Amino acid sequence: MPSLTPGPAELADLELLLNGAFHPLTGFLGAVDAATVAAAGRLSDGTPWPVPVTLAIPEDLTKEERLLLADPEGAPVAVLHVTETWKDAASPPGFPEGDPLRTSATTSWRAAGPVEALGASEHGPFRRLRRSPREVRAELAGATTLAIATRTPLHRRHLGQLRQLAEKLDARLLLLPLIGEGHDDALVRAVLAVRRELPADSLVVPVPLIERPGRDLALAAHVAAAYGATHFFTADSEETAHAGGAALVVAIGDLPIELVTPEPWAYDESVEVWRPLSKIEADHARPEPTEAELAALLDRGEKIPEWFTPPAVAEELRRAHPPRHGRGITVFFTGLSGSGKSTIARGLADALVERGGRTVTLLDGDVVRRLLSAGLTFSKDDRDLNIRRIGYVAAEITRHGGVAICAPIAPYAATRAEVRRMVNATGDFVLVHVATPLEECERRDRKGLYAKARAGLIPEFTGISDPYEVPDDAELTLDTTELTAEAAVERVLDLLVAGGWVRSE
């Protein structure tokens, strides 16, 4: 049987299809169902469902009747009984910008059909907590249950609101930390750390649910219902009203669960407790820090106030987001051949080593081609694979607190965005566009590559016979036509110092 290893987002979807969390789905959707879900939040038979759940496949597998779906280690996970293969549109409406499934494969072919489990995963952090919906429903035994699905730790406001609503509803609490996108262990530990501040029969069940921008709330509510929850906690009324577009409104109207929005809470400085805003005098109410303010505290390594969150949660936040000067970072240079990016990257690596305090790894495009990506051609697919390999290594370096400096051409915006997402799951990413004009790059042409490309001796050469997609998301743009390499390195160092990733000398 032909084998396929889906991408991380699709493997997460596969786990939820197999364990029943995506009920009523039993497999990956076909073209009609995917289109109707994207447009109206319903399957083609009218059943409410908020997001397309599809599987990308290479074109050479489109004639197969069964596919063995394997994990990244090659272990069989499931069999897909193919009922349909279909070619997706270039920019399908069901996969908006930012959706991790939009760029999950190098082809636009997709396969639909029911999936059959071959065995449960035997490893992974907190595996003992990742119980199936059937097991959780059996333990809940039909009890009124309030669920909260979260991608961030629960702070004192959330805890107070949950206790109040659970008492009001006479409900058990089901805490669903949504994992699969970086810092999973810290999130689960943070949720477990506050369980002692909630009723003793509260359950914690991590769920590998990949975020769908604009439709996340509706999908999480469907999953909570599959686990047996009768009520679903939403942070505030604005989250419900503005969580997505028209399709989401339709889906929320048909959710198999009751949405519950708590009354606003704030910290009462007069008595030093969190409680409903309606019970606090106006000049004594203190709101919690915004996400930006919390991120700034973590970036600077400052203490997170105990009135805002329990110490155990603060500790997990600091572990997951150390101060910028000790946090892993990837500095990713992109530009035409001959633009000067390799020279600047080498100079930056040398400067950081001289300063000390950081572990620095240089992933130069030419060196990577000779070693990590030996044997790859310069076709679009192989170029994308080369950049993904660089991104994977850079993300691992970043995960462990190092500095990865990358200097490939990286001509395609979608692949650069994919690398940014990979790295941002573990640390920070800075894109530097070395925007030296083509004419200047050709004039330099020490290797004679442009001349060979103009003569037709090198096919698919970036800037000549293959496009370079200019970044619109670069943190820094450099033109080395008049800028020396030393000055360019100083510009990058200034950016890193200003951002807090590197200490000033």
C-alpha R_g of the chain: 25
Mean pLDDT along residues 396-420: 94
Range(s) of the domain holding residue 392: 325-499
**pTM of the complete model beyond 0.85:** no
- Domain C-terminal end among 287, 320, 353: 320
- Contact yes or no for 397/404 (Cβ under 8 A): yes
Q: In terms of domains, do 234 and 254 share one?
A: yes
Q: What is the mean pLDDT of residues 330-345?
A: 95
Each residue's pLDDT tens digit, 184-226:
889 999 999 999 999 999 999 999 999 888 888 999 999 999 9
Residues 374 and 312 in one domain: no
pLDDT the model gives residue 174: 98
pLDDT at 395: 95
DSSP, residue by residue, 133-179: HHHHHHHHTT--EEEEEESS---HHHHHHHHHHHHHHT-EEEEEEB-
- Amino acid letter, 308: F
Q: With 0-12 CB in 10 A as exposed, 13-18 as middle and 19+ as buried, what is 18?
A: buried
The per-residue pLDDT for 381 is 83
Inside any domain, residue 122? no
Query: Domains in the chain: how many in total?
Result: 3
φ and ψ of 267, to 5 deg: -90, 125
Average pLDDT value for residue range 58-65: 93
Q: Which of 158, 246, 254 is nearest to 198 (CA)?
A: 158
Name the least confident of 1-10, 240-249, 416-425: 240-249
Taking only the tens place, the pLDDT of each residue in 231-281 is: 999 975 444 433 433 344 444 557 889 999 999 999 999 999 999 999 999
User: Does 174 lie in the same domain as 34?
Assistant: no
- Which of 297, 320, 343 is a domain's end point? 320
The pair of three-digit structure tokens given for residue 277, joined into one six-digit string: 């805003």
SS (H, E, C) 268-300: ECCCCEEEEHHHCCHHHEECCCCHHHHHHHHHH
- CATH assignment of the domain containing 88: 3.10.400.10
For the segment 373-377, the average pLDDT, to the nearest whole number, is 80
Question: With 0-12 CB in 10 A as exposed, 13-18 as middle and 19+ as buried, what is 311?
Answer: exposed
Mean confidence (pLDDT) of the chain: 89
Q: What is the mean pLDDT of residues 288-304?
A: 94
pLDDT tens digits, one per residue of 134-159: 999 999 999 999 999 999 999 999 99
User: Which CATH number belongs to the domain containing residue 173 in this structure?
Assistant: 3.40.50.620
Q: Among 286, 320, 354, where does a domain finish?
A: 320
Query: What single letter denotes the amino acid at residue 438?
Result: L
Structure tokens given for 73 = 């280690």
- Rounded to whole angstroms, how far apart are CA atoms 176 and 171? 16
